[in-house]
Amino acid sequence: MMFFDDNIYCLRKGDPIGERLAKVAKEQNILLMVCDQCAVRRGLADGEFSQCGTGEVRAKGFVEGVVAGCFPQLYSALGGNPPDQVISL
């Protein structure tokens, strides 16, 4: 699942929705990814705008398993095991 804009807030540590999603994602092997640029803008990532899309931005303050990235990182993460569905919120 790829999260953009203010939707990334639901994945913060302690958020009930994020905690439930993290549990389901771990059980079902679901990728939880936030847009790296959205996370940098909201102070929820380590990195600079110039690093967005490079794979160098690191998510912080999110529930377990959340990664930050852009479409190149998403495609790379899914490349070895293509999904049945891609859900974008």
In-domain check, residue 68 = yes
What confidence tens digit (pLDDT) does each residue in 33-85 have?
999 999 999 999 999 999 999 999 999 999 999 999 998 998 898 888 777 77
86 within a domain of the structure (yes/no): no
Distance between CA atoms of 12 and 63, rounded to whole angstroms?
6
Region of residue 34 (left: phi > 0; alpha: psi -120 to 50; beta: else)? beta
| Residue 45, domain extent | 2-79
What's the total number of domains in the chain?
1
Taking only the tens place, the pLDDT of each residue in 67-78 is 999 989 988 988
Which whole-number Å values give the CA distances from 59 to 4, 13, 49, 67, 81, in the listed order?
A: 13, 12, 13, 5, 23
* Residue 37 domain-assigned (yes or no): yes
Residue 38 belongs to some domain of the structure = yes
Answer for the pair 85, 78: CB distance below 8 angstroms, yes or no: no
Q: What is the pTM of this model?
A: 0.86
Q: Specify the amino acid at residue 18.
A: G
